Copies of this chain bind each other. A is one copy, B any other.
Amino acid sequence: MSPKVSKEHKEQRRANILEAAKDVFIEHGYEQTTMKHIMDAANVSRGGLYQYFSNKEDVYEAILEEMLGTSMDRTEEVLKSEDPSYWEYLLRCLYGPDMEPDNKMDPLASPSLEFFITGRNDPRRRKYAKTRYYNGLKLFTDVIEQGKISGEFTTSFESEMIARTIISFTDGLALDQAIITKEDVKIKEQSILFIEYLRTILGVKQ
C-alpha cells in the first residue's frame, strides 16, 4: 500500500533534475536547450524526465517558481530583520549582505530574460514575467515607503516610480551583461554610480 520509494525520494529526484536543468539552461540558454540535454545532464531517461515535467516550459517554470519563492523568502527575511536603516536594507536587497556591488549576476538571469522575451506573446509566460516584476515592485516600493515614514528618506518623488526605476535599471544591466560581456558592461562601476543616484533621489539622511 505504501509507496515503494518514499515521497522524499521523488522530491529529491525532482530537485536533482531541476539542478541539472539549471546548469543546462545557464550553459545553453532557454531556447537552445532540448529535453535531451536535460536528460543527459540529469542522467534520467526520456520517460523518466517526462514523469516529472511534461515539457521544457514546465521545467523552466519550476525553476522560476523556485526563484520567485526564494526571492519572496529573502524578502520576508530581510523584512523581519531589525535593520536599523532602510537605506542599508535596500542595498542589501540589491547587492547582498555585504551591500557591495560586484560584477556577478544571477546566472539564471539570462535564460530567464530569454524565457520571458521569446514568450512575450504567450499569456502564460507573460504572467510569470508580471509576477516577477510586481514582486520586485512591491518589495522596493515598501522599503522606500517605510524609509519615508521613518524620516530616513526625504524624497518628494513617488516611491513606486523610484522602485520602477530600480527594476528597469537592474534589468537593463542584466540584459546588457547577458548579450555583451560582464567586462564590457562594467556592472560594478555602473552600480556604484546608481547607488549615488539613489542616495540623491531618495534624499537619504546620513
Contacts and interface: CB of A to CB of B under 8 A. Distances in A.
Copies of this chain in its oligomeric complex? 4
Given A28-B121, A171-B176, 15 more contacts: A110-B117, A113-B117, A113-B179, A114-B117, A117-B178, A117-B179, A161-B186, A165-B169, A167-B176, A168-B173, A170-B172, A193-B201, A197-B197, A200-B200, A200-B201
Contacts of A110: 117, 120
A113 B164 CA distance: 20
Contacts of A190: 161, 164-165, 168
- The A interface is mostly helix, strand or loop, or mixed, namely helix
A162 interface: yes
Interface in A158-206: 161-162, 164-165, 167-173, 175-176, 178-181, 184-186, 189-190, 193-194, 196-197, 200-201
B29 A121 contact: yes
A67 B170 CA distance: 25
Interface stretch (A5-13, A57-65, A126-134): A126-134
A28 B81 CA distance: 46
Interface of A: 28-32, 110, 113-114, 116-118, 120-121, 126, 129-130, 133, 157, 161-162, 164-165, 167-173, 175-176, 178-181, 184-186, 189-190, 193-194, 196-197, 200-201
